[in-house]
Structure 1
Amino acid sequence: MALNHEHRDAVMTPRSRISWWRADEGRVSAFVVVLVSAILALAGLTLDGGLALAAKVRAHGQAESAARAGAQAIDLAAYRSNGTLRLLPTQAIARAQAHLAAQGAAGTATISGDTITVTVTAAQPTQLLGLVGITSLSVHGQGSAHPQRGITAIEP
């Protein structure tokens, strides 16, 4: 009489069940290693990607504020004589660089016409991606500003 599967499993001895487990030959272990590696890689991309995005927003804010600081270096003599708003390039760049240094940021400032542009570059260290050899991510932020006239009169 042939045994069906349910009956065969019911009559399996503990020894035969153990031999089935030993017959696995490590295939489950390899699957677990690959699965855990993939989960760690996804967690690393999520965590370190979020940290890099936050660092990029911070670099952008630092560049914008440094550009505004540089845009305050206007040529007062020209403004008082004929109302022309223009930047003093060396002072504007110096103010922007001093503002970046006060924030602990590194960047460059350039002048084009009456606009100052500041670019901040920062390295964001990684938390989990360091396990696969990526120790830091480079982020950049850029901001521009130019001098503007304020409100000179309030109309009723």
Structure 2
Amino acid sequence: MTAFVLALLIGLLALAGLSLDGGLALASKVRAGGQAESAARAGAQALDLATYRATGTVRIDPVRARDLAQQYLASIGATGTVQVAGDVVTVEVTAAYRTQLLSLVGINDIHTHGRGAAHPQRGVSSVEP
């Protein structure tokens, strides 16, 4: 009887650990995705004003875009990589979630990743009444 109760208790703890830490790891993944998207939007605001003023063409200044996205990541305490290709700013954020119950069985960290991309757009071009 004692062995059965012990096995049942261990199973319940494992299930609780998977539920709790799995849910919190999923929340960490969603947060990393939001951070990556916000950093990409910050970078996409770095317009090449000289080109815009001269030709009316909306283009990104790649150096400023990378700097703005990295500054945003630093301001929220996130780590990630920033790439600018053409007029698209792509940010990938990596985060490590420290487990609470799964650490009892040797799983100390769950690594999560988020990705976001943004490009500049003009405002609304036509409005219907």
Task: Tell me which interval the TM-score lies in, with the shorter structure as reference length.
Answer: over 0.9
- Structure 2 distance, partners of 1:75, 1:155, is 30
Q: Which has the larger radius of gyration?
A: 1
* Residues 6-31 of structure 1: per-residue CA shift (max 9 Å, x gap): xxxxxxxxxxxxxxxxxxxxxx2221
Q: Counterparts of 1:1-150 in structure 2 under 5 Å?
A: 28-150=1-123
Greater share of strand: 2
- Structure 1 distance, partners of 2:112, 2:32, is 7
TM-score by length of 2: 0.94
Q: Which runs of 5+ in 2 are unaligned?
A: none
Divergent runs of 4+, >2 A? 151-156
TM-score by length of 1: 0.79
RMSD: 1.4
Distance 1:155 1:30, change over 3 A: closer
- Structure 1 distance, partners of 2:85, 2:30, is 24
